[in-house]
Amino acid sequence: MIIDQIISYFQEHPEGIDDDELALILGLKSRQQANKRCRILEAEGRLVRRKVNGKIQNFWVAGKPTFIKSVSLNPQEPIQAQNKFQETNRQQLWYWEGNIQSKVINYLAKEGFQIRSVADTANHQRGIDIIAEKGNKQLWVSVKGFPQGTDKTSASVQASHWFKQVIFDVLEYRQRDRNVVIAVALPDFSRYRSMTQKITWLKPVANFVYFWVNESGEIVVE
């Protein structure tokens, strides 16, 4: 069914897409087929439709399925297949960056923000992760997930590097625009919380806020 294809696509692409592009990617006969199903999903509360640069974009907010498909891997299989499995496994986690980004987009939409641009986190697109607007104020959001760690580097150590990256974003954004509203969106982990306590002086100086996203998708603004 078309709607199943659309749901499957959105679950892997929380960065959003318009009806025309969705119809093209899925090989649908017309944009109306995509438009009709997306409106149904919006009515069910599974996605939000918001204008981005004058065009309606669809953003998935219903989350991902909790199961992980069983895939048999062995050393003889191509490296690409193993990488694809690892990436799919990672994206099932609630604290994956793309899922955090999706939750923040949903929150901002409900708060009356217009979403102007969204970076493709799944493909590591460079640029500001979320640009939103409300009234005459723009909001720039830098988003990070939480690492799983590797054989050589623990998740805690990786998290410290990721936190430093997002704080550097804050400094860079503030240098670029003294009036824009800046936010840092992070999954609510104690490691990140403890690191914010080491730089409490910076928050009022750089004038930014934290969006803490918990496992249930709730957001606390600090």
In Å, how far are 26, 54, 140, 208 from 180, measured between CA atoms?
37, 21, 7, 9
CA angle 205, 208, 214 (to 5 degrees): 140
Q: How does the average pLDDT of the chain come out, rounded?
A: 82
Looking at the structure, do residues 153 and 210 belong to the same domain, yes or no?
yes
Task: Convert the pLDDT of each residue in 176-198 to its tens digit.
Answer: 999 999 999 999 999 999 999 99
Looking at the structure, do residues 35 and 110 belong to the same domain, yes or no?
no
Looking at the structure, do residues 101 and 206 belong to the same domain, yes or no?
yes
Examine the pLDDT at 84 and tell me if it is beyond 50: no
Residue 178: give its domain's CATH number. Answer: 3.40.1350.10
Looking at the structure, do residues 23 and 118 belong to the same domain, yes or no?
no
Q: Is residue 30 part of a domain?
A: yes
pLDDT of res. 64:
46
Examine the pLDDT at 153 and tell me if it is beyond 90: no
Looking at the structure, do residues 137 and 209 belong to the same domain, yes or no?
yes
pLDDT of res. 166:
95
Alpha helices in the chain (DSSP H): 2-12, 19-26, 31-43, 79-91, 97-110, 155-176, 190-196, 202-206
Looking at the structure, do residues 47 and 104 belong to the same domain, yes or no?
no
Comparing CA positions, the residue from 206, 203, 200 lying closest to residue 178 is 206
CA atoms within 13 A on the CB side of 211: 27
Residue labelled with tokens 């065009």 = 55
Q: Is residue 76 part of a domain?
A: no
Task: Convert the pLDDT of each residue in 4-59 to its tens digit.
Answer: 888 888 877 766 788 988 988 888 888 888 898 888 888 777 788 877 767 888 88
pLDDT of res. 202:
94
- Find all residues with CB under 8 Å of 204, minimum gap 6, and list them: none
Q: Report whether 130 contacts 104 (CB < 8 A).
A: yes
User: What total of structural domains would you count in the chain?
Assistant: 2
Q: Is residue 8 part of a domain?
A: yes
- Find all residues with CB under 8 Å of 163, minimum gap 6, and list them: 144, 186, 192, 195
Q: Is residue 170 part of a domain?
A: yes
Residue 8: give its domain's CATH number. Answer: 1.10.10.10
Looking at the structure, do residues 113 and 55 belong to the same domain, yes or no?
no
Q: Is residue 81 part of a domain?
A: no
- What residue numbers bound the domain in which 30 lies? 2-60
Q: Is residue 86 part of a domain?
A: no
For 140, phi then psi, to 5°, come to: -110, 125
Q: Is residue 70 part of a domain?
A: no
Q: Is residue 85 part of a domain?
A: no
